């Protein structure tokens, strides 16, 4: 990785503007905001602690929710400052204003190792517009920019990209560095066999990823609703399963591309189908696909079947690199989660480098308690997909070269 890392910097006494992803899920209980999952805050702690112990003054920038460019205290970051203080067992200052005299005054009083969180950068419309005057005002509060907000790196905003132009050093934080190491570094020359497991709801969301990875992967294992658009391309009946009717030709094109490139492109050979989408449904196995026989009329495929699980396990066991994006069934409902769970278990126990990218896939893996068994679980949904598509992320491009 040619980008400057926070590990390369001289930090003592420096005012470091650290962009983090604190966009956590919250819940209102009697007018008090409670953070229901603080994973994102915890994930920023290694960089934060590195900066503090090196004697930097840490000024945190983050967005929260969608206040649409105006001050809306429903989206204040103040509760996050309080929560962070508990996590690091140290005071965390809070600036109710993002730029100007108020934060400047608070920052002038900071000692080395102190932490201050600025109010929601999205209270200013200039943030998402990547306005250069606003980016400059943010930059004037510090000496160095560090970006650890991988989940926001696919957006060119003032606090993720624009700010870098106004400071001499712009470095990646530890979380950002790990994301790039796995989703970019490991996958640029993957140990083969390189296996890609793809599922999720739509082919259309994943076309860019399929095309980019077709150049490198040896095998694709397909599941989730996207499988049934491929079925239609092959003339296999899909019953009431979710199909993207306008993507059937494209599915056909992908199947042909795989054949031409000698890439193994496996679709489920059996499925679970149901007439009712609910937590108490009892789906039935379709049995093996055969000529003209697929998903039953009036039934919907909601998970991969036992024979598919068996075949996919065999592929997983021999792979050296595994990338997984997209659940293989409607895993949110327990009766339809068994395929996703079985594949998660197989991936977890493989000896390959295992990388999980995508919001729902990571949720599924963690829900099964297997997050720690993977080499890496990405924290960015949209950002990880764009990186896998081979796109340059503006938040990464803006960083200084090493």
Interface contacts to ligand ADP, rule CB under 6 A: 199-201, 205, 224-225, 242, 301-302, 325-327, 329-330, 332, 358-361, 381
Tell me the closest approach of the beta carbon of residue 380 to ligand ADP, in angstroms: 11
The Cβ of residue 291 has, within 10 Å, a number of other Cβ atoms equal to: 7
Q: Which of 78, 202, 211, 366 is catalytic?
A: 202
> Is 40 a catalytic site residue?
yes
In degrees and rounded to multiples of 5, residue 105 shows phi and psi of -65, -45
Catalytic position from the list 216, 382, 390, 391: 382
Residue 359 in contact with Mg ion, rule: CB under 5 A: yes
Nearer to ligand ADP, 114 or 273 (CB): 273
Taking the least distance from each CB to Mg ion, the nearer of 169 and 379 is 379
Q: Which of 3, 14, 40, 232 is catalytic?
A: 40
Query: CB of 283: closest distance to ligand ADP in angstroms?
Result: 10
301's contact among ligand ADP, Mg ion, none, with CB below 5 to 8 A by partner kind, is ligand ADP
Q: How many residues bind Mg ion (CB under 5 A)?
A: 2
**In the chain, what's the furthest Cα-to-Cα distance?**
75
Task: List all residues 6 or more positions away from 232 whose beta carbon is below 8 Å from its beta carbon.
Answer: 238, 243, 245, 248, 251
DSSP β-ladder status, 300-304 and 194-198 = unpaired
Residue 360 touches Mg ion, criterion: CB under 5 A: yes
Q: Is 390 a catalytic residue?
A: no
Residue among 78 and 240 whose Cβ is closer to ligand ADP: 240
Q: CB count, 10 Å around CB of 278?
A: 10
Binds 173: which of ligand ADP, Mg ion, none (CB < 5-8 Å by kind): none
- In the complex, the smallest distance separating the C-beta of residue 159 from ligand ADP, rounded to whole angstroms, is 25
- The string of DSSP letters for 76-90 reads -SHHHHHHHHHHHTS
**Cβ-proximal residues to 69 (8 Å cutoff; 6+ apart), any chain:** 122, 123, 124, 125, 126, 127, 128
Active site residue 86: no
Q: Is the Cβ of residue 41 or residue 225 nearer to Mg ion in the bound state?
A: 225
Q: Which is nearer to Mg ion, 329 or 359 (CB)?
A: 359
Whether the Cβ atoms of residue 348 and residue 374 lie closer than 8 Å to each other: yes
Q: Measured between alpha carbons, how far is 156 from 147 in angstroms, rounded to an integer?
A: 13
Residue 32 Cβ vs ligand ADP, minimum distance, rounded to whole Å: 30
Nearer to ligand ADP, 138 or 195 (CB): 195
Can you tell me the distance from the alpha carbon of 269 to that of 306, in angstroms, rounded to the nearest whole number?
A: 9
Contact segment (CB under 5 A) with Mg ion among 65-73, 99-107, 244-252, 355-363 equals: 355-363
Nearest to 74 by CA among 103, 39, 20, 31: 31
Q: Which stretch binds Mg ion (CB under 5 A): 7-15, 138-146, 168-176, 353-361?
A: 353-361
Measured in whole angstroms, how far is the alpha carbon of residue 63 from the centre of its chain? Answer: 16
CB of 191 to ligand ADP, least distance (A): 23
- Which of the following is catalytic: 339, 359, 381, 395? 359
- Which stretches within 320-368 are classed as H helix? 338-348, 359-367
Instruction: Tell me, yes or no, if 216 is annotated catalytic.
Output: no
DSSP letter string over 11-46? -TT-EEEEE------EEEETTEEEES--HHHHHTHH
Shortest Cβ contact with Mg ion: which residue?
360
Q: Dihedral sign for Cα 287, 293, 297, 302, please.
A: positive
- Please state the closest distance from residue 137 (CB atom) to Mg ion, in A: 35
Q: How far is the CB of 363 from Mg ion (least distance, A)?
A: 8
Phi then psi for 265, rounded to 5 degrees? -125, 95
Q: Looking at beta carbons only, is 136 or 366 nearer to ligand ADP?
A: 366
Among Mg ion, ligand ADP, none, partner that 332 touches (CB below 5 to 8 angstroms by kind): ligand ADP
Residues classed as catalytic: 40, 202, 359, 382
Q: Contact residues for Mg ion (CB under 5 A)?
A: 359-360
């Amino acid at each position: 990785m040619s980008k400057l890392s926070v590990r390369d910097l001289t930090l003592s006494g420096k005012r470091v503007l650290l962009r983090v992803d604190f966009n956590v899920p919250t819940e209102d209980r009697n007018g008090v905001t409670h953070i229901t999952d603080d994973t994102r805050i915890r994930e920023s702690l290694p960089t934060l602690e590195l900066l503090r112990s090196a004697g930097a003054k840490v000024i945190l920038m983050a967005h929260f929710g969608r206040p649409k460019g105006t001050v809306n205290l429903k989206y204040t970051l103040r509760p996050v400052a309080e929560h962070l203080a508990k996590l690091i067992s140290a005071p965390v200052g809070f600036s109710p204003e993002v730029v100007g005299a108020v934060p400047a005054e608070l920052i002038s009083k900071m000692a080395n190792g102190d932490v201050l969180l600025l109010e929601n950068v999205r209270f200013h419309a200039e943030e998402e517009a990547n306005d250069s005057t606003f980016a400059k005002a943010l930059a004037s509060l510090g000496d160095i920019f560090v970006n650890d907000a991988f989940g926001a790196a696919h957006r060119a905003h003032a606090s993720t990209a624009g700010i870098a132009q106004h400071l001499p050093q712009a470095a990646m934080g530890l979380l950002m560095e790990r994301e790039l190491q796995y989703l970019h570094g490991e996958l640029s020359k993957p140990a083969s066999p390189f296996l890609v497991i793809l599922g999720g709801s739509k082919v259309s969301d994943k076309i860019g990823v399929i095309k980019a990875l077709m150049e490198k992967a040896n095998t694709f294992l397909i599941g989730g609703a996207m499988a049934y658009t491929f079925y239609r391309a092959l003339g296999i009946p899909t019953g009431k399963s979710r199909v993207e009717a306008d993507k059937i030709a494209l599915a056909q094109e992908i199947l042909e591309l795989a054949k031409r490139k000698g890439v193994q492109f496996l679709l489920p050979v059996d499925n679970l189908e149901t007439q009712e989408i609910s937590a108490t449904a009892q789906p039935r196995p379709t049995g093996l696909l055969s000529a003209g026989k697929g998903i039953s009329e009036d039934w919907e495929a909601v998970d991969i079947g036992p024979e598919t699980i068996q075949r996919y396990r065999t592929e997983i066991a021999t792979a050296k690199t595994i990338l997984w994006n997209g659940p293989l069934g409607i895993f949110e409902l327990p009766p339809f989660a068994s395929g996703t769970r079985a594949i998660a278990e197989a991936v977890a126990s493989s000896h390959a480098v295992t990388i999980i990218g995508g919001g729902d896939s990571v949720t599924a893996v963690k829900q099964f308690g297997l997050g720690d068994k993977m080499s890496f679980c990405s924290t960015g949904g949209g950002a990880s997909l764009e990186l896998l598509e081979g796109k340059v992320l503006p938040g990464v491009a803006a960083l200084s070269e090493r």
